[in-house]
Structure 1
Amino acid sequence: MIDIFSAVHYTEEKQVTFAVFQLEGVARSWWNLIRLKWEREQTPRMWVNFMREFNTKYFPPLTQEKNEYEFITLCKGTQTVAEYESQFTWFSKFAPELIVIEQRRIRLFVQGLNVEIQKDLAVTQHNTFSDAMEKAQRVESTRLQVRNFQAKKRDIPESSLEQGDKSTAPKLGRGVGGVRIPGISRGASQGGSVSASHGPCGYCGKPNHTKDIYWKKARKCLRCGSVDHQIANCPILP
């Protein structure tokens, strides 16, 4: 309504008349009491008087002080810079005296940003509020790109391992000589059970097998453990 008054250049009295015309229900009853009071006290029908009465009824000092405090302590939190700026501008109307000076408005805005963004903005000069807003958004965008890159970089090995697990052949057991052999559990060879207490091997010095069944000495297949062929000719190779 104030914007309308500025556009059509209403007089003070006409502004009050237009505003009162919009009131309904309880608000209309409230105005009827105020109108009688003004007639009794001969109060001029001016917009400033109407706003004083209206704010006393619907926007008391306690609420004004609360909104002013919320403006001063407003923080970005998990919001984007654009969302934070929208709230900052909305709450600023409750403390107009704090933002009359442009540099003070910029300082209040920057103080509510995250510490990481504040640190990057500390080395830059802000001539206008829109300049500070744009630089804060650029810093936010850059930091988001860095975080996404780091997260993607961390996920590459894990995703590769997951794909490898899905494409792996039958689960392999620990065979003779430390070789993975399908169908054979850890600590067991093709010829029978090998106790974990056996060893170390007299051929290679490693535990869990003896030199009699060492795959390299017995020239066994590295894939299946058979002595009839080498791994190059293994029939179960993909």
Structure 2
Amino acid sequence: MHIEKLFRDTFLEERDRVWLATHHLDGEAHRWWLDIQDNPSTDLTAISWRRFKELLLEHYVPDSVKRKMEQDLRNLRQGDKTMAEYEREFSRLLHCVPFVIQDDEDKARIFERGLQPSIFRFVQASNLQTYREVVNRALIVESGAADLQERREALHKGKGKRLAAEGAS
């Protein structure tokens, strides 16, 4: 994440990303990269930043851990979390297993399935195609539900005060 932030901040071109990232490798990771470079069948010019990350994950993250994280992502539910908390957790898990998602619509469907049932109904009925649209609609639904709850509580308190005042008189 740190190196990708550096890419964004410096507007580094795609062709230079692997070079810069490998320049920062130390210890075992540096030896791993040297092994890849020394392999005569490796075409270094064909290794994109995406492919580099895949190779790194293949080497350093065991399949059992990847399967567990994929399962955690697919089973993630909003529960009593706010939308912001749920989206943060979803994004964190997704960052660790990006290979799980086929495209933006798939990402939207997986996220959507984890929403609270009351929010899910409204979002699914909208038939949105992108992840950002689903998140935005879910935030709107959550906000609307919170506003409605506040109005109900205010109305309930107002009735209670009137009843108490009428009883006192």
Alignment of 1:195-234 (within 5 A): none
Matched residue of 2:125: which SS? coil
Q: Which residue of 1 aligns with 2:42?
A: 44
How many residues were matched structurally?
157
Deviation at 1:9, TM superposition (A): 4.1
Deviation at 1:114, TM superposition (A): 0.3
Q: Is the 8 A contact 2:104 2:131 kept in 1?
A: no
Distance 1:78 1:98 in 2: 25
Q: Which residue of 2 aligns with 1:35?
A: 34
Deviation at 1:123, TM superposition (A): 3.0
Deviation at 1:33, TM superposition (A): 6.3
**Rg (Cα) greater in structure:** 1
Could you list the runs of 5+ residues in structure 1 that have no partner in the other structure? 169-238
Q: Which residue of 1 aligns with 2:119?
A: 117
Q: TM-score, normalised by structure 1?
A: 0.51
Distance 1:124 1:53 in 2: 38
Deviations 1:141-194 (A, max 9, x none): 111111112222333455678899xxx9xxxxxxxxxxxxxxxxxxxxxxxxxx
Deviation at 1:129, TM superposition (A): 2.8
Could you list the runs of 5+ residues in structure 2 that have no partner in the other structure? none
Instruction: Please tell me the root mean square deviation across aligned C-alpha atoms, in Å.
Output: 3.7
Q: TM-score, normalised by structure 2?
A: 0.67
Distance 2:21 2:131 in 1: 33
Distance 2:88 2:32 in 1: 37
Q: Which residue of 1 aligns with 2:136?
A: 134
4+ long deviations beyond 6 Å: 160-164
Distance 1:21 1:160 in 2: 72
Deviation at 1:52, TM superposition (A): 5.7
**Greater share of residues in helix:** 2
Q: Which residue of 2 aligns with 1:188?
A: none
Q: CA 1:31/1:117 → structure 2, altered by over 3 Å: closer, same or farther?
A: same
Deviation at 1:70, TM superposition (A): 1.3
Q: Is the 8 A contact 1:73 1:112 kept in 2?
A: yes
Q: Which residue of 1 aligns with 2:145?
A: 143
Q: CA 1:139/1:125 → structure 2, altered by over 3 Å: closer, same or farther?
A: same
The answer to which structure, 1 or 2, has the higher relative contact order (CA under 8 A, 6+ apart) is: 2
